[in-house]
Structure 1
């Protein structure tokens, strides 16, 4: 079950009607809760004169709100941090396909929704993050955790720390695993994860890293940007935590490491569609893409943008093999995965 959602609006009420005829506005519903994104919004307003009014929530809360508001929704742009939720918004008809030569040229096809017959694209991915394994460099052998499958191996019994199985980051990983292993083997694998847990699932990805560093766990699962954030922290204690753990990009010899996509779409009932397209195009610009890379430690998706983030380079060796799997398949597997989680007792 998903938690209750709390929506926080900016001081300005989200309604185009509240703006003067001369004022240009963009009403943004965002699941990106990263303080470094503030520079993105400020610079967009400086460059265009378009004022951003923002509502913050998580992916599920935003989609639920869009459904509840219907045609009365003031939302112009939606930013989500999970590819399967982007897919869900698309199939639920919550997005308005965008036709933009700028976006088509900048964002590779594998990081966006399938192009419609009329050329419209329902959503675009602007950044990615890899789901990796961290481990105790003293007590755990790297070769024992170099694939996702090995997380369920008896050699790792009592060592695994992981957040809730129902969190979108894990649901997407597990949904992808169904495509690779099939339903029966995936359920057996999930049971193996439960059997190997050092403690019941709790906390966020940062807590899993800290658990490994403290000795509570031998291995953990995290998105890369959490680890990179600690590696680059101004707090010496956080840097010390990051230094204590090893990191593995799993399945480099097979299907590749699972990545998730954060992206954006124009809301179906956008009241400021031209401004929405401008903002989405801005997010594909080198300036914005570098904020994703250097501000929030994500890999940019736009063509021609290189990563200069030292932490990302250090943990990945500069490059890694990533999984290539249809986003629609991952999304469609999620109900099936949740049922598996219930059966194996993965909270």
Structure 2
């Protein structure tokens, strides 16, 4: 064999003493191959450095078996968990994923992001809409490239899925009021975030509908330090007995800020966060939170995209809602007990 040339399917077949068709089945993830034969073929592939020709596979089958993922930031807790869900589902179904980030320039639109994805060997795209883009409501996916959007608001022309950010906030407010608190203060996420916007709106509307006093909003930036500063300020408000922070980092920061100012949690002030992102990170974690099922969102977004790639219909203009789950720990006091 000429080692200056990449190994071919015929080279692998010869080394494994099987037919090229068997090598093709193994490369395509077919189940119609005996386990011992598969192992022999895979060993030959590894030894020869064989790489399947995905472009040729796409020409033959019409599929790259690859889903594109476009997002603003892959390092945030929610996005990382969503990516994990997409990757797990893709891997178990023989797919790969290709990632790109939204640009930070004038082309920060869905159209520009999907146009870039069209140049890559992907069968469909999942767009994680963490922040606002100018063409969200009018965006139409290209006919040749299915698009699923993870977004708080339903897209008019694409299937949409996300956590119930608004309903999560309503549930937190109802929960704290049921513990005897007269109102709930809110530490919000950044104004650029769609999730933060919806969480703040759910908090505001729930208090408003019940005719309760709506305290001023404290603006944070998702980081614990902004929660700490809010906690320091709220420690001096005698009417503040309950705080709802838009994520766990700010909630935990607020706990430390309150304690630094001489307040006790939950004896003096109750706190609830969102995401359940600190479990396993903070020892003896006492923070009550709303657990967002980001992994489930990623998995379901993948399967929605896969169905579209297979020519099946997935409704547009409506949002698949994945509800949050209350995780009670020790940061909420029942004033009526």
TM-score interval, normalised by the smaller of the two chains = 0.3 to 0.5
TM-score (structure 1 length as normaliser): 0.40
Q: Which has the higher contact order (CA 8 A, sep 6+)?
A: 1
TM-score (structure 2 length as normaliser): 0.41
